[in-house]
Chain A
């Protein structure tokens, strides 16, 4: 992604086409600070949006053609399903979410479906208005005591979209079924939402919270809860949530294991040299903390029905831990960069 062009590189055809194919971007998408881009897993499509424009640009990487789709609001976040055939755009300025098929909606904008969404916000003077299925109808700006979602996360199978905001204090999120359009909201969180992830079983959500450092709650316990770092594990089917306070250690990343039954939450506090992975049992919502040695970098799952995830960490010679979220076994290999220097 350049400032005013997208360069397409065919990695399978470098010998025949060593130079990238440049595609010029429209003027509205040339401001980097307000621009977002997301690509499909198969590399077929790239979507670009701007906070300052109602238009979404869809780049067909096979042909290098750029098509535009006008939406009724300005996308604050966009997402593509894993198969790259369903796109979701959150239109925070009008409190709606747009979902549309690719490439059909580019030729037929009538296929764009809009859903209004409102999230319960912190500090409302009056209760939020009655909602229909958890959402709020209409395209108007949400009332002061509710917040419009600004971000979207899709489930691994691309069937669900979780909608939330972290630009306003909110202890709720909504889930949109991308096939049926059904919307439900979850208001049972104890702390503000920072980000979240949906598990592969489509009913588990892990929410990372952001602390309310300015809490003026009179109850000391509630004040401690507000000011702590933490995360929640939500079972949508059961309507239950389990809050896990991590005190001063901020959660970093959510990883859902390939077995669909476990998740890992990485936590890192370099100031106090505290690093850990919390193993989450998505059936019981029970969490267990597993200590790691150094600052966390990246984490990810393995394919297949395994509870194993990997976590890379800072170490001058390289460090990676393999964490079994079911058995809580943590095996760490450190020094693999040094191993390359071993010689007979």
Chain B
């Protein structure tokens, strides 16, 4: 395994010289990594520097100066955005990769959140009411606003929302990228991103003053509806989105399933036949109920599955199949709602987290499964199979050689990448190190269950996929990450880069 761009040793020498700049001792405030334009990007908020890593290792880490007092970072198809600046001069940096070209937009506020539309043409900026105002700004600010940025024209338009809610909490974008739904604590504001002055407010406040707090918002694939799950309601709110060149309109309908209560999750299944449908999962006292709800309120088109066990999670497996699972039990069900077919089974043990889902498969990770006289961590691959007569839920358990610490699914192939902690001794990892444990990456092919992987030099704290490579982050404040090609994940092809977040320290020198 190759090691790249080791900056720590020379910096340690510099740090030992004379009187140190206080930044030598301060803990770095780092955001990232963010996958942007095929590279990994970290933003060091302490020093207003962005570091970009090429996963292929052909070029070394590259640092960019970004706006002072950076607050948030978000990826775009061509690079990344960084918001920040003083309160009296708030800015948004638009950085392109790999060139690192930086363009600065002056915006209305030093925003705490950046959400980018899926087509990368627009971004929505908004405040976090819990974050303090930027230095130089008044001690109070109006959180009831957003700024819409046209990333093609590089223009920004501030929109005062004027709702009865406190502040935006998230945004959802139509898959076409033309409409943004700003989700506030008691309101949804729909914005036409191409004409931001066209917007409509949908207050989710019932007569009598009870406000429904949105917890999840999903657009229909064609953008015609926004489905909202809100606390305080067992109904799924369907906001019809009527966008024309002249205006943006909306109407709300509450979708229900008679007798069902305890709305726990919603999902928007993709594929033919699911137009105008949203799936809802109710975790009621007598067991869960899954319902495919017609968006127009035609309950005679609904499809219902009654389960005897509890369930609180709904995942779209694709191909018209949905997976229903629970964080508190081993029950798992597959459901093909349009054909009203289902199958239910029990996992070998309770999963530790929500399943990883891709390419028609779901992977459940179990911290402990009984193996003979002992226990072991394990993985269960679940898929739904149509055997011609009925729908069957197929399980394949795999025993893991260590405790999983991170996982990700390659969206292109469905391959599961699992970070596992293993003893350093006896592994291929060099030693000694500061830990007796090291990290190992296990890859699982969803179709064949073929297992591959490699041993890394350090424990794994996070995993991801970037530009045909898998990556694993390791503990360490100065940046530590290993890359490996997804089509050949071996120790020989992997390389490790660490210390790249310390690059700025070389510029600090000694204190006067």
Contacts and interface: CB of A to CB of B under 8 A. Distances in A.
Interface of A: 273-276, 290-294, 315-317, 319, 321, 327-335, 337-339, 341-344
Given A291-B258, A317-B254, A342-B252, A332 B297 contact: yes
B244 interface: no
A316 B253 contact: no
Contact of B207 (A273, A316, A321, A342): A316
B256 A332 contact: yes
B300 A328 contact: yes
A293 B302 CA distance: 13
Interface string B282-302: 000000000000001111100
B252 A330 contact: no
B250 A342 contact: yes
B129 interface: no
A273 B296 CA distance: 23
B202 interface: yes
A321 B258 CA distance: 12
Contacts of A319: 254
Given A316-B208, A330-B298, A331-B298, A338 B201 contact: no
A293 B256 contact: yes
Interface in B237-266: 237, 247-248, 250-259
Contacts of A328: 300
Interface in B345-387: none
Contacts of B258: 275-276, 291-293
Contacts of A338: 202-207, 252
B210 interface: yes
Contacts of A274: 259
7 cross-chain pairs, A with B, having the tightest CB-CB distances, nearest first = A334-B254, A291-B258, A293-B256, A316-B206, A332-B297, A329-B300, A331-B298
Interface in B294-318: 296-300
A293 B206 CA distance: 17
Contact of B203 (A276, A292, A293, A342): A342
Nearest to B254: A334
Contacts of B248: 344
B300 A334 contact: no
A333 B198 CA distance: 26
A332 B257 CA distance: 11
B474 interface: no
B301 to A, nearest CB: 8
Contact of B247 (A293, A321, A337, A344): A344
A294 B248 CA distance: 32
B200 interface: yes
A317 B205 CA distance: 9
Contacts of B250: 342
Nearest to A324: B300
A341 B239 CA distance: 13
B145 interface: no
Contacts of B247: 344
A331 B297 contact: yes
Contacts of B51: none
B165 to A, nearest CB: 13
Given A319-B254, A335-B237, A338-B204, A273 B259 contact: yes
A343 B201 contact: yes
A60 B444 CA distance: 88
B197 to A, nearest CB: 9
A232 B199 CA distance: 53
Contacts of B296: 331
A331 B247 CA distance: 27
A317 B256 contact: no
Contacts of B205: 338, 341
B112 interface: no
A344 B201 contact: yes
Nearest to A344: B200
Contacts of A341: 203, 205
B203 A333 contact: no
A57 B78 CA distance: 86
B207 A334 contact: no
A329 B247 CA distance: 32
Interface in B369-411: none
25 contacts: A273-B259, A274-B259, A276-B258, A293-B257, A315-B254, A316-B210, A330-B298, A331-B299, A331-B300, A332-B253, A332-B256, A332-B299, A334-B235, A334-B253, A335-B252, A335-B254, A338-B202, A338-B204, A338-B252, A339-B251, A341-B203, A342-B250, A344-B198, A344-B201, A344-B247
A334 B258 CA distance: 13
Nearest to B252: A335
Choose among B201, B202, B258 the residue with the greatest number of A CB atoms under 10 Å from its CB.
B258
A94 to B, nearest CB: 48
A330 B208 contact: no
A344 B199 contact: yes
Nearest to B250: A342
Contacts of A317: 206-207, 254
A109 to B, nearest CB: 53
Nearest to A315: B254
A330 B253 contact: no
Contact of A342 (B201, B298, B300): B201
Nearest to B162: A343
Contacts of B297: 331-334
B60 to A, nearest CB: 52
Contacts of A332: 253, 256, 297, 299
A331 B300 CA distance: 8
Contact of A291 (B201, B202, B208, B299): B299
Contacts of A321: 299
A97 to B, nearest CB: 42
B300 A330 contact: yes
A291 B304 CA distance: 12
Contacts of B253: 332-335
A290 B299 CA distance: 9
Nearest to B304: A291
Given A274-B259, A331-B300, A333-B253, 4 more contacts: A316-B206, A331-B298, A342-B251, A344-B199
